[in-house]
């Protein structure tokens, strides 16, 4: 995904911390989990760990150690523990009809990471992809307890539609996504039109397409972006409708790179579909 070990560590840490924010919590402690070949340059490992530590520090948590395994392929992640008041635990199963849906990072990192491997995008696009992946969901999550938020999930490997479907199915509702309002990284649509789409996007589509209905007006390239697997993606937040504009403003004021109203929670459709892309 990236060649710079420091950035690799930052992305892995931001991704690991995200689950705490998605449950309304605050990260408290983190432990490194490292697989690394003993014959490899240890300076590379040092840079990975430095990158991870920078994001743990930014989150306000403490890095308290970790575990290492001698392995052929470098792997890095963190086990993160956090705290949340029992009355404020957020789940992906409690979205309510009428809620507005907020997305806090643009999608398209999977498509663009695939394109980056073949040097098909500009350095400006590469920098934006990296900026998106290393950005902590901390800043969007700072707004959660100020408003009537009913449900949260984070957008990762199953893509926006996959994780939205998890929320819809668990909440027994239908989620309507307005594709025109979904923030998409510059260059992602162009790459999708060229067929530069990771296999994970097609796997996601195959897994949930029976539960999804899509208006004919939605271009295939946009659909690909909605199924695109994300690394360290944003939060999908279901909030009381009359508070949607205010929480967007608050998230942006806190430093979230994006906060967009992208859809609405509906009563479950009679046809049984959980997702409707318009």
Whether residue 153 contacts residue 235, with contact meaning beta carbons closer than 8 Å, is answered with yes
Q: What is the structure's pLDDT at 40? A: 87
Q: What is the structure's pLDDT at 2? A: 78
The pTM of the full predicted model, rounded to 2 decimals, is 0.94
Q: Please give the Cα distance from 187 to 206 (Å, whole number).
A: 24
Domain's final residue, options 70, 86, 102: 86
Query: Per-residue pLDDT for 143 more than 80?
Result: yes
Query: How many domains in the chain?
Result: 2
| Helical ranges in the chain per DSSP H | 5-22, 42-59, 109-117, 123-134, 138-141, 159-171, 188-193, 199-208, 220-227, 244-254
- Let me know whether 96 and 16 are in one domain: no
Give the number of other Cβ atoms within 10 Å of residue 172's Cβ: 12
- Let me know whether 45 and 148 are in one domain: no
CATH of the domain at 33: 3.30.1330.10
- Let me know whether 77 and 96 are in one domain: no
Render 145-209 in DSSP notation, one character per residue.
GGS-EEEEEE--TTHHHHHHHHHHHHHTEEEEE-GGGS-B-TTHHHHHHTT---HHHHHHHHHHG
- Let me know whether 110 and 180 are in one domain: yes
CA distances from 208 to 168, 180, 205 (A): 12, 21, 6
- Let me know whether 152 and 73 are in one domain: no
Query: Per-residue pLDDT for 78 more than 80?
Result: yes
By percentage, how much of the chain surpasses pLDDT 70? 100
- Let me know whether 49 and 143 are in one domain: no
Note the pLDDT tens digit of each residue in 174-202: 999 999 999 999 999 999 999 999 999 99
Query: Per-residue pLDDT for 1 more than 80?
Result: no
- Let me know whether 109 and 245 are in one domain: yes
- Let me know whether 160 and 238 are in one domain: yes
- Let me know whether 95 and 38 are in one domain: no
Query: Per-residue pLDDT for 84 more than 80?
Result: yes
Burial class (CB in 10 A: 0-12, 13-18, 19+), 34: buried
Domain's final residue, options 21, 51, 86: 86
Domain's final residue, options 86, 114, 130: 86
Q: Which domain holds residue 72?
A: 5-86
């Amino acid at each position: 995904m990236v060649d710079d070990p420091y950035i690799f560590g930052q992305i892995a840490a931001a991704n690991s911390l995200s689950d705490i924010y998605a449950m309304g919590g605050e990260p408290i402690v983190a432990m490194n989990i490292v697989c690394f070949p003993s014959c490899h340059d240890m300076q590379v490992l040092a840079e990975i760990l430095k990158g991870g530590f920078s994001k743990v520090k930014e989150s306000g948590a403490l890095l308290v150690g970790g575990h290492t395994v001698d392995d052929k392929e470098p792997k890095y992640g963190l086990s993160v523990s956090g705290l949340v008041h029992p009355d404020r635990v957020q789940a992906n199963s409690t979205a309510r009809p009428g809620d507005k849906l907020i997305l806090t990072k643009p999608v398209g990192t999977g498509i663009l990471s695939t394109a980056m491997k073949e040097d098909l995008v500009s350095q400006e696009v590469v920098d934006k992809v990296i900026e998106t992946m290393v950005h902590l969901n901390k800043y969007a999550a700072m707004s959660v307890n100020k408003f009537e938020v009913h449900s949260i999930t984070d957008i990762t490997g199953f893509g926006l539609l996959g994780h939205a479907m998890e929320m819809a199915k668990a909440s027994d509702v239908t989620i309507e996504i307005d594709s025109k309002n979904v923030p998409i990284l510059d260059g992602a649509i162009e790459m999708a039109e060229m067929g530069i789409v990771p296999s994970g996007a097609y796997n996601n589509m195959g897994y949930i397409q029976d539960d999804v209905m899509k208006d004919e007006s939605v271009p295939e390239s946009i659909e690909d972006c909605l199924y695109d697997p994300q690394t360290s993606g944003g939060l999908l937040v279901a909030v009381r409708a009359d508070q949607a504009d205010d929480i967007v403003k608050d998230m942006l004021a806190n430093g979230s790179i994006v906060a967009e109203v992208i859809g609405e929670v509906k009563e479950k459709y009679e046809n049984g579909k959980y997702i409707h892309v318009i």
